[in-house]
Amino acid sequence: MAENAPPPADSGHDKLMIGQSATSIYIAHAILILGVIVVAFPIYYTFVASTHSLQTVLRPPLPLLPGPEFFNNYYEALFGGVGRIGGVPVSTLLLNTTIVALGIAIGKIIISILSAFAIVFFRFPLRMVFFWLIFITLMLPVEVRILPTYKVMVDLRMIDTYAGLIVPLIASATATLLFRQFFMTIPGELVEAARVDGAGPWRFFKDILLPLSRTNIAALFVILFIYGWTQYLWPLLVTNDNQMNTIIIAVRKMMSFADADTEWHLVMVTSIFAILPPVLVVVLMQRWFVRGLVDSEK
C-alpha cells in the first residue's frame, strides 16, 4: 500500500480528542485506515493496471505493485497513433474536457453573478418574476429538458461544437441563488457608501462586490469544474464526431469497443487522466479558499 498516505488524523488531531486512551486511538486509526483503503484502493488499483501490459492485466491475478510499462502506456495513450476510439489521443480528450469544464464553470459563474447582482441591487419591474423564473429552473435539470434542448442544438447547428457542449449547461439557478444569498448579506450601508463615493453600479460591482465574492467564486469554481468535467449524458448526445469527445465519454467508448480487444491498460491510463485534473483543482483551490475563509472579510 505504498500509495496510501498516512491518515490525516495522525498528528495534532488526536491531542484534541476527549477521553483519549491507547485503545480509542487504535480504534480511531483503524477506522480511518479502513476508510482510506476503501476510497483509495480502487484508484491505486487503476494506477497499477495502467502500468502493466495488456497481457498482464488480463491474466487473472493482477499484480498489486506497479509494473514496468508505465512510460510506454502513458506515451501511447497521450500521443499514440493507436487506432482506438477513432484514433483520438488522450491529449485531445483532455483538451476537450478542459475546455468544456472551464467553459461551464466560468460561464456559470459569470452568468450567475451578474444575474444575482441584478436581482439583489436593482429595482426593476418584474424583478421577483425573474427571480422565480430562475428559481424554477432548479426543477428542470438537463435530463428533464433533454429532448427540447437537443432539438434547439440541432437547429442552431451546435452539434459537435464546444458551444453545444457548454451553453446548455451554463444556466444555473444554484449558483445564482448562492450569490444572491451572499449579496443579501452585504450591508446596505456599504452600497450607500460606494454611491456617496461616486461609484456607479459597474464600478461597485468591479471594485467591491467582486473582491468580496472571491471566496464564493473559488468554492463555486471547484464544484462547477468537477460538475463539468464529469458530465456524461449531455456530451454523449451532442457529440457525434470522436474528435469532440470528452474523456468520460471516451473511456466508455473504449470499453464498448469489443469485449476481447478492450485495451484495458490504456483504459486505465485514460481513467487516471480523467481523475487527475479534478483532483488537482480541488487540491490547488482548496488551499486558496481555506485562506479566504480564514481571513473572512466582512
The helix/strand/coil state of 72 is helix
Residues 163-182 that bind other proteins (CB under 8 A): none
- Containing 133, the helix (H) or strand (E) segment is helix 127-136
Select from 83-91, 140-148, 191-199, 242-250 the region that touches other proteins (CB under 8 A): 191-199
* Residue 185 interacting with other proteins (CB under 8 A): no
> Are 208 and 194 contacting, i.e. CB atoms less than 8 angstroms apart?
yes
Select from 64-72, 77-85, 113-121, 208-216 the region that touches other proteins (CB under 8 A): 208-216
Cβ nearer to other proteins, comparing 203 with 287: 203
Closest to 76 (Cα-Cα) out of 87, 89, 85: 89
Select from 77-85, 139-147, 185-193, 275-283 the region that touches other proteins (CB under 8 A): 185-193
| HSE toward the beta carbon, residue 71, CA cutoff 13 A | 1
Cβ nearer to other proteins, comparing 74 with 289: 289
Q: What region does 208 belong to: left with phi over 0, alpha with psi -120 to 50, or beta?
A: alpha
Closest to 11 (Cα-Cα) out of 29, 27, 35, 36: 29
* Angstrom distances, CA of residue 265 to CA of 88, 273, 280, 294: 16, 13, 23, 43
* Residue 208 interacting with other proteins (CB under 8 A): yes
Among 9, 102, 190, 282, binds other proteins (CB under 8 A): 190
Q: Cα–Cα distance between 42 and 192 in angstroms, integer?
A: 55
* Residue 219 interacting with other proteins (CB under 8 A): no
* Residue 196 interacting with other proteins (CB under 8 A): yes
Cβ nearer to other proteins, comparing 212 with 275: 212
Among 38, 147, 198, 202, binds other proteins (CB under 8 A): 198
Q: Which residues bind other proteins (CB under 8 A)?
A: 187, 189-190, 192-200, 203, 207-208, 211-212, 295, 297-298
